[in-house]
Amino acid sequence: MENLERTCASLRAQISATETKLAGLRRELESAEKAAIDIRKQEDTKTEEENKNRETRTWPLLAEEYRRYGRQMIVPQLGLQGQLKLRSSRMLIVGAGGLGCPAAQYLAGAGVGTLGLVDGDTVEFSNLHRQVLHRRRTVGKFKVDSAIEYLQELNHHSTYIPYRAHLTPQDAPEIFKDYDLILDCTDNPATRYLISDTAVLLGKPLVSASALRTEGQLMVLNNPPRPAGDATGGPCYRCVFPKPPPANSVVSCADGGILGPVVGTMGLLQALEAIKVITASDSTPRNPPSLLIFSAYSSPQFRSIKLRSRRANCAVCSAEAKVSLDTLKSGSTDYEFFCGTATPETLLSPEERISPQEYRARHPDTFAAGTTPAVDGKHTMIDVREKVQFDICNIDNSINIPISSILSSRPTPAAEDGIPAPLPSWLPRDIASPDSTDPVYVVCRLGNDSQVAVKRLKELGLDRGGQRFIGDIQGGLHAWRRQVDPEWPEY
């Protein structure tokens, strides 16, 4: 009883100390926010004074701006007039990640007058290898705040506007209306269609890019922007992709991987195309719409595919348009429904799935204190991640059968005349042995591919009509890290 009372007293003391510390932190935050407001007011006053001085100056730019932008102003395609167009332009970047960071960095450096950034995500350590505006000290901050912190140091002449939320159909028109050009730096189909539709309906040119693994794509859409039904306008995203890809075929950077320089290249090209669109004069020849494809490991690395003009039956930019600002704001244009859901289905019953903790309880002999779990001869652990992931980290004595090998094999033909059908070549002999009834466990990264593999193994009859357990580790290796091995690498 005395020990419990001492514990309670200790906890009360810790809570009191924590509350005191929290109150101090709140006071510090309040002071910091007041200081930030004061500095912003001073900067705004300074900007107003600079603008007034410009009106009485002989030269249209400040002396510092001539020094800062001089190297690009002497490029014939830009010149002073192009620089003035950049300074008065307003560009919106949707997505402050791998594409948005380099695009924002070079647009701010080029002297774009106002940059808006839309993103509801916060900075994670996994972002730092490719999202070049973020730093270790900004992990946990909103990406837009982290990016603007960097951009303000790069160029204080530009104005930066954060939108700390994911883009929605209801908010998109209100945000887009104040900008001259939109950059789509997102990574999911539903948002891409939303951005394109809104840009077309508000008459904004759009620079769209994507990147995955070692490849990227780039398009300049709705350029020139024309009203719906005007065939002289540039095609929109729906013109190029009238139907979205199947939801289960969409691979994100988190699942498929990405090389930093690849997504960086595409973001830089977005910035370049945005500058070209904004600074173009009436006499500048307009390139026909095209899809630029970049492949880091191909030769040549770049190739271009000519795009068709606007589709006569496009749902947004044709005379038969069904999408309008009213359908966007009312929510009747459902982008999630249009693109489908990427939420993985549960393919197995609860009896066919076990948690990492349950696996540990079933096979305690395979766990030695202080070591990585090992597999003994009484059961088999199959890891269906691709080899490149298996080589990063794997459970001792597990075997690697990539899900791509399992899915690419042809279905096994039915047995004829009592002769058993041949089993696929990827299947190990000891598992295929008709005498073996040892359980088989399948694991993957998140617990999705493992379900597909279990179903395939059962279709091959390896569960011996239910006499042999074949199931997956629910939650995959992410759950393994949480429940079994905290030191398991997180990637």
One DSSP character per residue, 203-257 reads T--EEEEEEEBTEEEEEEES-S---TT-TTSPP-HHHH-SSPPPGGG---HHHH-
Query: Residue 375 has what pLDDT?
Result: 41
Sequence-ordered alpha helix ranges (H) in 374-428: 387-390, 403-408
CA atoms of 227 and 474, how far apart (whole Å): 51
Tell the burial category of 49 from Cβ atoms under 10 Å away from its Cβ (0-12, 13-18, 19+): exposed
Query: Residue 44 has what pLDDT?
Result: 57
Residues 316, 185 share a domain: yes
Residue 397 assigned as binding residue:
no
Residue 339 assigned as binding residue:
no
Residue 383 assigned as binding residue:
no
Residues 323, 375 share a domain: no
167-179 pLDDT, tens digit per residue, is 999 999 999 999 9
Residue 97 assigned as binding residue:
no
Q: Which of 339, 360, 382 is the last residue of a domain?
A: 339
Sequence-ordered alpha helix ranges (H) in 74-208: 79-88, 100-110, 143-154, 172-176, 189-201
Closest CA to 201 of 324, 367, 366, 59: 324
CA atoms of 366 and 33, how far apart (whole Å): 55
Residue with the two structure tokens 């395609």: 77
Catalytic residue among 101, 185, 253, 339: 253
Residues 477, 433 share a domain: yes
Q: Do the domain assignments include residue 379?
A: yes
CA atoms of 325 and 332, how far apart (whole Å): 10
Q: Do the domain assignments include residue 48?
A: no
List of the chain residues with pLDDT < 70:
1, 30, 32-34, 36-57, 248, 341-344, 366-377, 410-421
CA atoms of 320 and 360, how far apart (whole Å): 60
Give the CATH number, domain containing residue 179: 3.40.50.720
CA atoms of 355 and 98, how far apart (whole Å): 34
Residues 272, 138 share a domain: yes
Q: Do the domain assignments include residue 294?
A: yes
292-319 pLDDT, tens digit per residue, is 999 999 999 999 999 999 999 999 999 9
Q: Do the domain assignments include residue 30?
A: no
Catalytic residue among 101, 185, 339, 444: 444
CA atoms of 252 and 190, how far apart (whole Å): 13
Residues 354, 334 share a domain: no
Residue 304 CB contacts under 8 Å (≥ 6 apart), including other chains? 290, 291, 292, 293
Q: Do the domain assignments include residue 12?
A: no
90-108 pLDDT, tens digit per residue, is 999 999 999 999 999 999 9
Q: Do the domain assignments include residue 49?
A: no
Contact 389, 403 (CB under 8 A): no
Q: Do the domain assignments include residue 162?
A: yes
Q: Which of 314, 339, 364 is the last residue of a domain?
A: 339
Residues 371, 291 share a domain: no
CA atoms of 443 and 384, how far apart (whole Å): 6
Residue 187 assigned as binding residue:
yes
End-to-end CA distance of the chain: 46
Tell the burial category of 286 from Cβ atoms under 10 Å away from its Cβ (0-12, 13-18, 19+): exposed
Query: Residue 121 has what pLDDT?
Result: 98
**Boundaries of domain holding 244:** 89-339
Residue 128 assigned as binding residue:
yes
Contact 286, 280 (CB under 8 A): yes
Residues 386, 249 share a domain: no
Residues 306, 421 share a domain: no
Residue 472's φ and ψ, nearest 5 degrees, are: -115, 165
Say if pTM beats, i.e. exceeds, 0.95: no
Residues 328, 206 share a domain: yes
Query: How many domains are contained in the chain?
Result: 2
In this structure, how many other beta carbons lie within 10 angstroms of the beta carbon of residue 459? Answer: 11
Residues 355, 335 share a domain: no
Distances, alpha carbon 408 to alpha carbons 401, 404, 455, in Å: 12, 6, 15
Query: Residue 373 has what pLDDT?
Result: 41
Residue 21 assigned as binding residue:
no
Q: Do the domain assignments include residue 222?
A: yes
Query: Residue 343 has what pLDDT?
Result: 59
Q: Which of 307, 339, 371 is the last residue of a domain?
A: 339
Residue 77 CA to chain centroid, in angstroms? Answer: 34
Q: What is the token pair recorded at 466?
A: 């239910």
Residue 223 assigned as binding residue:
no
Contact 380, 440 (CB under 8 A): yes
Contact 133, 150 (CB under 8 A): yes
Residue with the two structure tokens 């730096």: 185
In this structure, how many other beta carbons lie within 10 angstroms of the beta carbon of residue 213? Answer: 16
Give the CATH number, domain containing residue 420: 3.40.250.10
Residues 309, 219 share a domain: yes
Would you call 185 a catalytic residue per the annotation?
Answer: no
Residue 8 assigned as binding residue:
no
319-375 pLDDT, tens digit per residue, is 999 999 999 999 899 998 899 865 567 899 999 999 999 999 998 876 654 444 434
Residues 416, 270 share a domain: no
Closest CA to 399 of 425, 424, 380: 380
